[in-house]
Amino acid sequence: CEKEFLDRPPEDAYSLDEFYSSEAQVNASTNILYNAPWFQFANTPMWAIGELSSGNARTWDDNSADFMKFTVTNRKNHLANGWSSLWSVVAQANAVINFLPDRVDASVSQPVIDNAIGEAKFMRAMAYFYLVRIWGPVPIIENNLDYVYNPQINTNPVDDIYTFMENDLMFAIDNCYSKNRGSNYSDNGHISSGSAKALLAKIYLYQRDYSQARAYAEEVINSGEFKLFGLEVPGSYNDLFDTKNNNNEESIAAIQWSNTGEYGQGNPLQAMFAFTTALTGTGDGWGAVSPSIDLTQSYEDGDLRRYGTIMEEGNEYPNLNGGYVVPENPGTQGTNVAIKKYVVGKPEYNGGGSSQNAANNTYLLRYADLLLIHAEAIMAGAESTTDGAALASVNKVRERAGLEPLEVLTKEQLLHERRVELAFEGEYFYDLGRLDRSEAIAIISAQERGTYSNDDPPVIYSENFTPSADDFTFAYPPVEVQKNPLLEADPVPYNFN
Amino acid sequence: QKVVTGKVSDVSGLPLLGVNVIEKNTTNGTTTDFDGNFEIRTGNDAVIVFSFVGFITKEVSVKGLKTLNIQLEENTENLDEIVLIGYGTQSRQDVNGSVSSIDAKEIEDIPQVSIDQLMQGRAAGVTITQNSGQPGSSVSVKIRGVTSITGSNEPLYVIDGVPVSGDANNTSTSGRSPVGSGGQQDTGVSPLAALNPNDIASVDILKDASATAIYGSRGANGVVIITTKKGRKGEGKLSYNSYLAIQEPTELIKMMDLPTYARLQNLFSDLTGTEPRIEFANIELLGSGTNWQKEIFDRAIMQNHQLSFSGGKENVDYFISGGYLDQEGTVIGSGFDRISLRTNVNAQVKDWVKVGISLTGSRTKDDVTINGNRDGVVSLGLLQTPDVAVYNPDGSFAGPIDDDGLGSLNPVALALSIKNKLTRNKLLGNVFVEFDLAEGLSYRTEFGGDFNFNKNHRFTPTYAWGRYVNEQNVLNIREENSVFWIIKNFINYHKNFNNKHDLTLLLGHEAQESTWEGTIATARGFLTNDIQTLNLGDAEFAANDAYKGSQALQSFFARVLYSFDNKYGITASFRADGSSKFDPLGDNQWGYFPSVSASWKVSNEDFMSNFNALQDIRLKVGYGETGNQNIPNYRYGATLTTFNTGLGTGFGLSNIANPDLKWESAIQTNIGLEFGAFKNKLQTTIELYEKTSKDFLYQLPLPDYLVGVDPYNGGVGAPFVNLGEMRNRGADLTLSYNTGVNDFSWNSTLTLSHYKNEVIDLPSGLVITGETNLNGNSPIAPTITNVGQPIGMYYGYKVIGIFNDANTITDQPVQFGTAFSAEDGDTWLGDIQYADVNGDGVVNANDKTIIGNPHPDFTYGFSNSFKYKSFDLSLFLQGSYGNDVMNLTWLNTSSLNARYRNQTQESADYWTPENTDTDIPRPVAGDTFNNEISSRVVEDGSYLRIQNLTFGYSLPSSLMDKLNINNIKVYGSVQNLYTFTNYRGYDPEIGSFNQDALLMGIDNGRYPTPRTFTFGLNVDL
């Protein structure tokens, strides 16, 4: 009696030790990796770095404008939020990787277990991919328990982190289910072996290991698992970002937001991107950033992606809140345009959501990106190519955008395609970061990051900002350095055993 | 000889039964009857002595009078004063541990809502700060310094035998805090707010471990034993107490008016390359604009009524009271009200059996302010800009219209539109039966319960305040109930041998359990804002959450009290506690808590019989061990948190397990000296103590790369561990002086408390920081805790001054790796120059150092009461000396780095090439190192406050007798009359943010304490 009186196991939660007792539970164990831990990263750092620093967007918000002006200090809350958010993904992935095998019930079959661990390794690699691109060297953590009582650890070199991601993705390729993305979108949510191949191709590309990148990209393309939405399946570039097309055939990996409106479990992007509360209906819609003049001007004539990315006066969006016509001078940041991508409208048109919590997915990787990776891998660092396979991939992407096929693919053209295809998906700054520094600095310092005047016709108040070579990665949050001064020390090679 | 008749009553006019009425130096005497009347035959010049237990003896000469109506005053310095020591009582003279007591008389007529606030400054060794001026909010009570690193440092309250945790967050005893945070405010509500202070008879504060060890695992932070009023034998008494109070905000911070603000905005337009706002083109045409502080603070009314009935006959006594309190907050939209009922009945059923019950039922309602950070009403009252109007011409709320998305919500609209109501229903009671088994041997069983039913109703309406439009209204309902019960069984044995040896034995067992359960439901999309029930929301967007849990504690305890010849006393106790907080499969569930103490009444020694300079000299010494197990449930194991994901329910690891968790323990020694002087008019108590606590139950402050964000956002909670060691050494001094001549009496008490906190041991490689957010979302770590220093020291950069000389600036140490140039993001003239503390030639994170100490050198209270005939006057001062305060409210409002944000008037003296003689740096748009946590934001937090001034008048008894009324008293008082301080913020009494010992004295948008004018009336029939 006494023993029982003092034994109080949790009454409102599963205990870790008893959780993995059925296939259903093991399958559900990875859901978390697609959701809440990503929230703070998606909320601001994703676009503050990916769009403001890259020159795709501009803002007057003195808090975010530092990213545009390359005056970011380590105290920036956006950085701290991104840092802790991405490490949450790592921690939750590690929990599955380390705890599941020891605790899983014998009745659960090995492929089910291996698939879950493969998904976790994929997401761990995805989080590290962002970490290494934003901060450079960071600690490799395979099991958080190893450092709980000894938290002051060194960072590991960037190359080791890439090796670590490759290992994770190899495991995911071997152990995750193979899929063929069909029209039943609800089956497509979890990543597959093919998703891991696609991410691995991108990671090899970042390392300039072009042959491997090409090989994996081609495996993905040849598998037919993914299709270009609006080209190989009905739809359009604009519809790609609608809530109803979550997990369409083009989606390789995406954050799977909930529609319940619980804070931190829905998509926060619309709250930031929509230029008016009238679009969202939920009190948010802050127009924190607007497309820059530079981005808007960079579109080729007739590029359909412009309509799906940028709201301009007079644009009609029939699916947005049952029909929306963009008024005069949208946007809040002096560029007379506003962001369209990821702006999905009011909860009643999107199956739920609430303030800062829409139900539309956020892409982490999609097939169009892979096609461009494929083309770039084939170029293998050359200034241009006429390789048929490379052109085929790029032209597929261009065809959906309503553009003429290219006959020669230049490096500049490829960078441009990546920029407009993936604008406001948080990619362009990393693409610039892959260039030689002087080249990237030249591109950025020539970008028009200014505003239009109120005159008719408007004139440009020009603003240009020149980054220095070390502005392409960011400082560790100071509270973290305070807890672990070793973060500032030189990276130490990782012991892979 | 003649007959003298008369009546003896107490000060309030209540007749006293059984008073000895004796002619001086004779054996001639009588006693008063039931109505206090007496009749005695004496000579004409006789002196009659009136004496009664518990009252000051009075001598009156007859001088030809035939009737004598005598009032006897209660003897507050009664040597036989009874003190509660836990599971029993003891005469104050025999208590070997350190116990401070507060009598109800000291705290009557003071318009405070709850007892914890009233204890402030009244007892040495007890440091009390109000965490917020929000009605009903929590108070930080620290008995003898900070004992624990995290967890709660609040004492255990024992209300009529029922233990109630002082932890406002309640995570260890009721799962979650009763107020929904909504990511906004974190000001806990006081767990004692349900208790009506007017019902309290006495408060005994057990301070040292030899006193608290009998409470074992719950005694480490001290124990406050609260006893409510009982009926007295004699005629029934009906009392009505009432007061009406007006509270007003004390001091507003001077913020920029519209022209000053406009000038700053124009400067920012230059800095950010934006077009200056047209409306600010002609500054001289601008009026002063909206003063937002005046809009959000307002005078507020408080009223209190209490009706009580008490009395006792032969074998029964009773006390019944009902009270009503209604307090508006000085921040608009906030408030608190309470209805409370109390019944105390005791009865001697047979010679050998006694029963009693004490029961309180209460309902409190809090209108909780949206407060606590950048988005709170108080903060927005500072930051909202003077060019925005409160209301539109049509009477609806206004808001910024064109603010580039950078403005803020209208705080008045926020305060008045967003409803956050907390209703708490509480039933707290205790029943006992005591059997006399044999002479000196009794058996007592008690059952106590604390039943709570709380409901939090939070509604955000649809609104359109300027450009801020919300079309989706949200209702959030939290319903929570918790049940606590305790069963105690104990045997008491008392025997006195030969009038020399006095022995009391106690042996007991108790079991206690808390269970709690809560449901949180959210509905959205109501068609109107009028009716706010869940069923009217759009079913498609409904969401729910729930929690549930329990904890249990089982204990055995024993105590011996022994005294010899009224000279030497020894107390020894032992308690064993088993707690459900620790792994049932391990060996750490049980903790053992011994104590021993002794005292020596020096004055009772024969050799002291000729020493008269000092009286009642007593020395005492004590040692004891106590524990702490105040952590959330099941931290020895790991659980999973559920999330809604697009793939279905997700399960995230919520914490890292630590099966080795065990008790946190504290060892305390105490030495005390008590004596009286000037015929006991001056009484002195000096106590010295050392308290060492170790194995803190502490959630490891791991870097985010190991745990990520908070568990409810998808991160993994760091494990709770046992670590470290900390020592508090301190001294408590109480001086009290009582004198009186004829109709005049004077009583003063000075309490002084000093402690010195030092962290003795921490695991290497672990940096313990206190973390909070600046401007709502920028994480900062303003404190650090190092071995060899006190806990929670302020940590940041030292400021040298402002860069003012273009010729020498480039010779200075480079700051944070930025170049010296006028470019954006670089360091230039007008920026703050920080000290290169480590002398390595550059200023960076390695130059952070200790920049302030939140611990006071001492805190003090000085209470004075004077009485002349029917008038009484009391003056109570309290304060703190030598502590620093970190003024983040000032930093937030003087950051000079963003547009559309008002700033302090003081910061308008910012550096410009023309204005170089200033300590305010230049405005910089965006991130600037000028706003680092630095010595700039640390201020002296010393203060002396005239906490209370009360003037009272009791109507003359001659008049009262005619009206057949015992007493009528009227009084007026001022609470928080004036504060002497150099602190720039609202109020230097900051408290701890969420009672967190690592965030002491950090002012971050705190709700200021108001000044209160009270008029009161007490009537006794």
Do both B650 and B779 map to the same domain? yes
What is the crossing angle of helices A110-135 and A77-103, to 10°?
A: 160
- Pick the last residue of a domain from B72, B96, B124: B72
Q: What is the pLDDT of residues B956-968, one digit of tens each?
A: 877 777 777 888 8
Q: Is B393 on the interface with A (CB under 8 A)?
A: no
Cα separations in angstroms, B161 against A102, B79, B427: 48, 25, 14
Residues of A in contact with B469 (CB under 8 A): 277-278, 283
CA distance B712 to chain A (A): 9
The least confident of A109-123, A307-321, A415-429, B468-482 is B468-482
* Distance in angstroms (rounded) separating the CA atoms of residues B832 and B804: 10
The band of B179, judged by pLDDT with boundaries at 50, 70 and 90, is: low
B920 falls within a domain: no
Q: Helix (H, G, I), strand (E, B), or coil: what is residue A211?
A: helix
Statement: residue B993 has pLDDT above 70: no
Q: Which positions 606-665 of B are in contact with A (Cβ < 8 Å)? A: 633-634, 637-654, 656-657
Q: Within 13 Å and on the Cβ side, how many CA atoms surround A200?
A: 28
Q: What distance, in Å, lies between the first and last C-alpha atoms of chain A?
A: 48
Do both B437 and B539 map to the same domain? yes
Q: What's the token pair of residue B481?
A: 């109930």
Q: Which positions 433-492 of B are in contact with A (Cβ < 8 Å)? A: 460, 463, 467-472, 474
- Beta bridge partner(s), residue B157: B164, B224
CA distance A452 to chain B (A): 10
For residue A180, the one-letter residue type is: N
Mean pLDDT in residue range A115-120? 97
Q: What's the token pair of residue B244?
A: 């009406």
Do both B208 and B127 map to the same domain? yes
Residues of B in contact with A263 (CB under 8 A): 183
Query: What is the average pLDDT score of chain B?
Result: 86
Mean pLDDT in residue range B52-77? 78
Statement: residue B493 has pLDDT above 70: yes
Largest CA distance in chain B: 106
Q: Within 13 Å and on the Cβ side, how many CA atoms surround B631?
A: 28
Do both B26 and B167 map to the same domain? no
CA B964, B966, B971, B975 torsion-angle sign = negative
More confident residue, A169 or A276: A169
DSSP letter, residue B131: S
Q: Helix (H, G, I), strand (E, B), or coil: what is residue B81?
A: coil
User: For the stretch B727-755, what's the b/e string if a residue is b when 16 or more beta carbons lie within 10 angstroms of its beta carbon?
Assistant: bbbbbbbbbbbbeeeeeebbbbbbbbbbb
Upstream peptide bond of A457 is cis (omega within 30 degrees of 0): yes
Integer-rounded Cα Rg, in Å, for chain A is 23
Mean pLDDT in residue range B717-735? 91
B761 falls within a domain: yes
Q: What is the reported pLDDT for B78?
A: 47
Residues of B in contact with A282 (CB under 8 A): 470-472
B878 falls within a domain: no
Mutation site for A-interface testing, chosen from B709, B793, B821, B903 by largest number of A Cβ within 10 Å: B709
B950 falls within a domain: no
Mean pLDDT in residue range B660-681? 90
Statement: residue B172 has pLDDT above 70: no
Do both B104 and B61 map to the same domain? no
Residue closest to B924 by CA, chosen among B823, B788, B791, B783: B823
Residue closest to B95 by CA, chosen among B604, B621, B752, B689: B621
- Pick the last residue of a domain from B72, B99, B124: B72
Statement: residue B137 has pLDDT above 90: no
Do both B98 and B63 map to the same domain? no
CB B784 within 8 A of CB B768: yes
Q: What is the reported pLDDT for A155?
A: 97
CB atoms within 10 A of CB B769: 17
CA distance A483 to chain B (A): 5
Q: What is the reported pLDDT for B150?
A: 63
Statement: residue B180 has pLDDT above 60: no
Nearest chain A residue to B825, by CA: A71
Question: Checking phi first, is residue B937 left (phi over 0); if not, alpha (psi -120 to 50) or beta?
Answer: alpha
Nearest chain A residue to B519, by CA: A12
B742 falls within a domain: yes
Cα separations in angstroms, A477 against A49, A471, B373, B643, B773: 15, 15, 21, 27, 13
CA distance A352 to chain B (A): 6
Q: What is the pLDDT of residues B304-315, one digit of tens each?
A: 999 999 988 878
Q: What is the pLDDT of residues B928-967, one digit of tens each?
A: 889 889 999 999 999 999 988 989 998 887 777 777 788 8
Q: What's the token pair of residue B880?
A: 């703190």
Query: Domains in chain A and their CATH numbers?
Result: 23-488 (1.25.40.390)
Domain count, chain B: 2
Nearest chain B residue to A141, by CA: B706
Do both B534 and B585 map to the same domain? yes
B447 falls within a domain: yes
Rounded to 5 degrees, what are φ and ψ at B836? -85, 80
B954 falls within a domain: no
* Distance in angstroms (rounded) separating the CA atoms of residues B308 and B489: 32
**Closest CB to B704 among A84, A282, A465:** A84
Statement: residue A411 has pLDDT above 90: yes
Residue B374: give its domain's CATH number: 2.40.170.20
Is B651's CB within 8 Å of A463's CB?
Answer: no
The band of B177, judged by pLDDT with boundaries at 50, 70 and 90, is: low
Do both B551 and B429 map to the same domain? yes
Do both B66 and B172 map to the same domain? no
Q: What distance, in Å, lies between the first and last C-alpha atoms of chain B?
A: 36
Mean pLDDT in residue range B839-850? 91
Question: Which residues form the domain of B59?
Answer: 2-72
Give residue for tokens 């105490």: B670
Residues of A in contact with B649 (CB under 8 A): 28, 31
* Distance in angstroms (rounded) separating the CA atoms of residues A98 and B653: 12
- Pick the last residue of a domain from B24, B51, B72: B72
* Distance in angstroms (rounded) separating the CA atoms of residues B107 and B876: 10
Q: What is the reported pLDDT for A37?
A: 96
Statement: residue B42 has pLDDT above 70: yes
* Distance in angstroms (rounded) separating the CA atoms of residues B748 and B737: 5
Q: What is the DSSP string of A435-476?
A: S-HHHHHHHHHTS---EE-SSSS--EE-------GGGGS-PP
Q: Within 13 Å and on the Cβ side, how many CA atoms surround B361?
A: 4
Q: To the nearest whole percent, how much of chain B has pLDDT over 70?
A: 93
B884 falls within a domain: no
Do both B346 and B320 map to the same domain? yes
CB B522 within 8 A of CB B582: no
More confident residue, A90 or B249: A90
Statement: residue B20 has pLDDT above 60: yes
Give residue for tokens 């002595």: B49
**Closest CB to A32 among B472, B702, B714:** B714
CA distance B641 to chain A (A): 7
CB A229 within 8 A of CB A239: yes
Do both B106 and B139 map to the same domain? yes
Residue B9: give its domain's CATH number: 2.60.40.4130
Statement: residue A408 has pLDDT above 70: yes
- Tell me the H-state helices in B602-723: 704-707
Do both B15 and B135 map to the same domain? no
CA B653, B658, B662, B667 torsion-angle sign = negative
**Closest CB to B925 among A62, A72, A481:** A62
